[in-house]
Amino acid sequence: MQMSTQGFHYLVEHNVLVRETHMREIGPVNKVKNILRFEKRDKGISPGRTVRYQWLRLVRLRGDPFVLARGVAIGTFIGLTPTIPFHTILIIFFCAAGRGHLVAGLVVSLLVSNPLTIPLQYYLSWKVGTILTGSSLSWEQVERLMGLARDASMFEAVKSIYINSFRSMVSVLLGGIVFSLPFAIISYFSAVYLYIRRQKRRMNRLIKTNHNDPKSSKEISHN
């Protein structure tokens, strides 16, 4: 039995309504808390398992593919910039301003910015920045900043950067922006493709399930 066009539209609208209701029940604040709570718990878990968990969490997110992709791009961009310990605050701000998916942004930032990748990110940001600006900032100074960002509180990090190395760090920040921007653009279009494809596959499975269930198809067609 084939599903009518009206029944198909009802199915789509019902799916969207259920998803939006579920998202409202969870709430963005609770989702952010869950991500940050898992990030703290990550320390006792193997890196491979952590990456797999966060990746599955990312690809299974539901919503508007373009909103999700904006969140992925923002999380990639901020996560690759030398702005620790301000990643979370910056992602929240830019997702709100750019209407990106906050959870997608936070999860991606955890994937791209971790103890294995941070030294390379800072090194490339420093290298690109010194080439662009001709800064005399040494790699040893950048390493000290990395240690401060890791061990000090946010207030202490801001104070130290402002007093000791604000002018020098401008070159690293500029290098980080130039370094991160291409990855953000690539991640946006990749995420759009990924989420649209997954959305179509979910919808096709849903339609196939209802085709195989005459009673369900009949009820949907009547609506």
Residue-wise pLDDT for 29-64, tens only, equals 555 555 555 455 555 556 667 788 888 889 889 999
Find out whether the peptide bond into 85 is cis, omega within 30 degrees of 0: yes
Return the closest-CA partner of residue 203 out of 1, 4, 8, 3: 8
**What is each CA distance from 70 to 80, 164, 192, 209, in whole angstroms?**
15, 35, 9, 31
For the chain, give the percent of residues with pLDDT over 70: 63
Q: What tokens appear for 12 in the block?
A: 């789509």
Residue-wise pLDDT for 199-221, tens only, equals 898 888 888 777 766 555 544 44
Helix axes 102-112, 65-80, angle to 10 degrees: 40
- Provide the pLDDT confidence category of residue 84 given band limits of 50, 70 and 90: confident
* pTM reported for the whole predicted model: 0.70
The DSSP secondary structure of 25-36, one letter per residue, reads HH-HHHHHHHHH
pLDDT for 64 equals 94
Q: What tokens appear for 35 in the block?
A: 């991500």
pLDDT for 43 equals 53
